[in-house]
Amino acid sequence: MLYNENIPVRHPKSKFAMTTVYAFTSASVLTSIFFSLLLFLSIDDDPLMMVLFGSLAIIFELGKFFAWYEVGERIARRHYYGAFSAFVFYTILAAISIGGSVGGINSATNKAQTHVNIAQNQVNSFNRQIAAIDQQISLNNEAAKKYIELELIATGLKRIQRENDQLRQQQQQLASERDSLPVVSQGSVLGLIDSIARSVGVDSQTAQLALVIFLSVLLDFFAAFFIGLIGEEQRFCQRYRHGNPITIDASGHDAIPELLTVAYPLDNPHAPQGQTDNTVNTAPPEPVSLYQQAILALESKQVSCSKKAIGPYLGIDTEQADEIFKQLLTEGLVSKKANHHYRWHGQAVTS
């Protein structure tokens, strides 16, 4: 199997990609810890107990994510029994964490709903007082009709009119105070809960509980995904640094490419038979540079003349491959075609 530029080779993720992964992981882990703290800190108002319960919430959260990381590590080592035990431990901690997140999110939602309820109760109180005044005015009007029928206008009707005027002034004052109350807008979460409740046909409490459970489970899955991604990337980078380039076959699985014949110097006594000359040299072989290895590989046509083929063959990165091809161009061993591909000419062109 010869290396050529058509073999897809997997490389470690870029710094930008890993920075993004670490940012999402940190945000999801901190959010999960925050919601768990909302529940555990509300168990007791004593400062010492709050510290203890808060520490317990943080231990549960961090232990849960480390257990999930350990699941991936043991599966990679094919230690399936250990992976199963770590997964059971993760499941227990995840259940506690989800319960804490449900309680924390539910507590935050209830606080937002409480503010809305308080403001609405104030408005309702003013409305009840205004309605009571309306009823009193209606009763006074009925009494005024009786006074007119009894021809007691001078004694009772004027008193009722004065009383009604005072009630109307009081009513206007209450309406002015009601309208001056600050408007408490309904939050987006509460609006979403009401929309879900109306669309599904359940009450707001049931819709709120379902939404909170869904968000808590989604948050845990989100954090677990990025924890597993970090662990897998670290394991891959360790293999990559040890000089084992990973290719991706048609089925999408990682596969280690077949090893090529190692290029030995002509004076190396350890080379296989047929690769040494008749001269016996007892001196230790000099190390062959990457540039010389590239020339030997291109001269023997073990690799195609491209940076993508030379890089995996020598186990070097793109920058080192660029330096090798720049030196080859300078010495006239290769030329660049119109499509920016390289053509090997060999030693004979060198002048």
Quick check: helix, strand or coil at residue 68?
helix
Using pLDDT thresholds of 50, 70 and 90, give the confidence band for residue 195.
confident
Domains with residue ranges and CATH for the chain: 10-241 (no CATH), 261-351 (1.10.10.10)
The pLDDT of residue 275: 46
Question: How far is it, in rounded angstroms, from Cα 108 to Cα 113?
Answer: 9
Cα angle 311, 316, 319 (rounded to 5 degrees) comes to 85
Using pLDDT thresholds of 50, 70 and 90, give the confidence band for residue 185.
low
pTM score, whole prediction = 0.48
The pLDDT of residue 320: 83
Residue whose structure tokens are 């317990």: 56
- Are residues 304 and 4 in contact, defined by beta-carbon separation less than 8 angstroms? yes
Question: How far is it, in rounded angstroms, from Cα 291 to Cα 249?
Answer: 29
The pLDDT of residue 276: 44
Using pLDDT thresholds of 50, 70 and 90, give the confidence band for residue 243.
low
Cα angle 308, 311, 315 (rounded to 5 degrees) comes to 150
- Are residues 312 and 246 in contact, defined by beta-carbon separation less than 8 angstroms? no
- Mean pLDDT lowest among 44-58, 184-198, 295-309, 326-340: 184-198
Cα angle 197, 199, 204 (rounded to 5 degrees) comes to 5
Residue whose structure tokens are 């609405």: 120
Question: How far is it, in rounded angstroms, from Cα 142 to Cα 156?
Answer: 12
Residue 250 confidence (pLDDT) above 60: no
The residue among 302, 306, 317, 293 whose CA lies nearest residue 240 is 317
The pLDDT of residue 292: 84
The residue among 77, 39, 34, 81 whose CA lies nearest residue 58 is 34
Region 123-144 average pLDDT: 83
Region 272-300 average pLDDT: 65
Question: How far is it, in rounded angstroms, from Cα 36 to Cα 53?
Answer: 10
More confident residue, 182 or 282: 182
Q: Give residue 347's Cα distance to chain centre.
A: 54
The pLDDT of residue 43: 79
Region 240-269 average pLDDT: 50
Question: How far is it, in rounded angstroms, from Cα 305 to Cα 118?
Answer: 76
Region 25-41 average pLDDT: 84
The pLDDT of residue 220: 85
The pLDDT of residue 1: 43
Percent above pLDDT 90 for the chain? 1
Q: Is the dihedral of CA 194, 199, 203, 207 positive or negative?
A: negative
The pLDDT of residue 334: 83
Quick check: helix, strand or coil at residue 170?
helix
The pLDDT of residue 249: 46
Question: How far is it, in rounded angstroms, from Cα 70 to Cα 77?
Answer: 11
- Are residues 303 and 313 in contact, defined by beta-carbon separation less than 8 angstroms? yes
Quick check: helix, strand or coil at residue 285?
coil
Question: Both tokens of residue 113?
Answer: 């709903």
| Residues forming beta bridges with residue 10, ordered by sequence position | 246
Residue 310 confidence (pLDDT) above 60: yes
Give tens-digit pLDDT for 155-174: 666 777 788 788 888 888 88
- Are residues 346 and 301 in contact, defined by beta-carbon separation less than 8 angstroms? no
Q: Which of 165-169, 227-231, 284-288 has the highest mean pLDDT?
A: 227-231
Question: How far is it, in rounded angstroms, from Cα 102 to Cα 36?
Answer: 8
Phi-psi category of 119—alpha, beta or left, where left has phi over 0 and alpha has psi -120 to 50? alpha
